[in-house]
Amino acid sequence: MTTNSTSTSGTGGPAVQPTTEELVATLYRDGIVACRGAFSAEWVDRVREDVEAAFEEARSRPDGAVGRGPNRYYVEIHPEQLRGFVDLVDHPWVRRVCTGVLGEDYEIVELGFDVPFAGAVNQPWHRDFPAPEETRRDGRLTSLAFNLTAVDTEEDMGPFEIALGTQFDDGTGFDHGMFPPKSLYPRYEERAVRKFPRRGDVSARSALTIHRGTRNFSDEARPVLVLGVDAPGAGNAEHHDTAVTRRYWEQLPDRVRAHLRCPVVDELTPITQKHTIEGLVMGEA
């Protein structure tokens, strides 16, 4: 694997690497922060091979994949299904963001991927789950979602769109705590930024920042890997069924094992998707 956690400046030279404090400040301000060129394109191509294999396996059985809108799916997988799992979770930038936002005892709770295919439509603006009490009361983020694109994202491929700075918006009037009323859409459209990551780029965001997938006009799928990480006690692990075999566990570096709280089993069981978000099934109304 070839990694490069230093972004490049507009002049072609290395940019100054932001400090952990600056990364955290950006995430708290915008709801998202990114590292360009964290991995090589060749490494990401292997990730895509594993994602495509996992998707075919998931689609072959009931409830192996869950719909997130027309022609849009989510699949949760076990770490052993991704050859680059250790590379991803042990990347210095990923570890710095996790530690800076969630503390030294952060917990890896989710591994999966979203795939918007050709014909995927605009999702409604949403959060991935209701804001926890620590965020509403104290303004503290207790979870992160890391995203790694498996393709070079083009404008017609249904890019991810995020309304910057909305992670602390009051969601008491949201449907299920996740779906804001359409009267607030102008606020999100004013703040909206579409993201066009390339293979090798990694981002970290609060799942509370208002966002949506947009319509895929192309003939190409746009698979995106998702890594979910919690602060201790955040509770998102109960919504996921990630596990590792004892043999795999014993081969993991201690630094990875320290943050992986999933069950250790003798044999893996295929994951039945249960993180359904009903409001996304039909796309934007």
Span 206-227, pLDDT tens digits: 999 999 999 999 999 999 999 9
Cβ contact 71:216 at 8 Å: yes
3, pLDDT greater than 80: no
Residue with the larger pLDDT of the pair 164 and 241: 164
Residue carrying the six token digits 């978000």: 277
The confidence band for 80, taking pLDDT boundaries of 50, 70 and 90, is very high
Residues 34-48 have pLDDT tens digits of: 999 999 999 999 999
pLDDT given at position 5: 38
Range with lowest mean pLDDT among 152-166, 168-182, 194-208, 263-277:
263-277
20-275, superfamily in CATH? q2cbj1_9rhob like domain (2.60.120.620)
* CA-closest candidate to residue 151, choices 219, 80, 67: 219
CA dihedral (18, 259, 251, 274) positive or negative: negative
CA–CA distance, 270 with 238 (Å, rounded to integer): 17
Q: In whole numbers, what is the pLDDT of the chain averaged over residues?
A: 91
Query: 152 to each of 130, 131, 157, 221, how far by Cα in Å?
Result: 31, 31, 10, 11
The confidence band for 274, taking pLDDT boundaries of 50, 70 and 90, is low
238, pLDDT greater than 90: no
Q: Residue ranges of the domains in the chain? A: 20-275
The confidence band for 278, taking pLDDT boundaries of 50, 70 and 90, is low
* CA-closest candidate to residue 229, choices 257, 197, 261: 261
Average pLDDT over residues 88-105: 98
pLDDT given at position 280: 63
CA–CA distance, 208 with 194 (Å, rounded to integer): 17
167: helix, strand or coil: coil
What's the whole-model pTM score?
Answer: 0.91
Cβ contact 103:232 at 8 Å: yes
Q: Which residues contact 157 (CB under 8 A, 6 or more apart)?
A: 116, 151, 216, 217, 218, 220, 222
The confidence band for 8, taking pLDDT boundaries of 50, 70 and 90, is very low
Q: Which residues contact 275 (CB under 8 A, 6 or more apart)?
A: 66, 74, 76, 239, 240
CB contact burial 111-122 (16+ within 10 A = b; e otherwise): bbbbbbbeebbe
Average pLDDT over residues 68-97: 96
* CA-closest candidate to residue 116, choices 53, 49, 71: 71
pLDDT given at position 273: 72
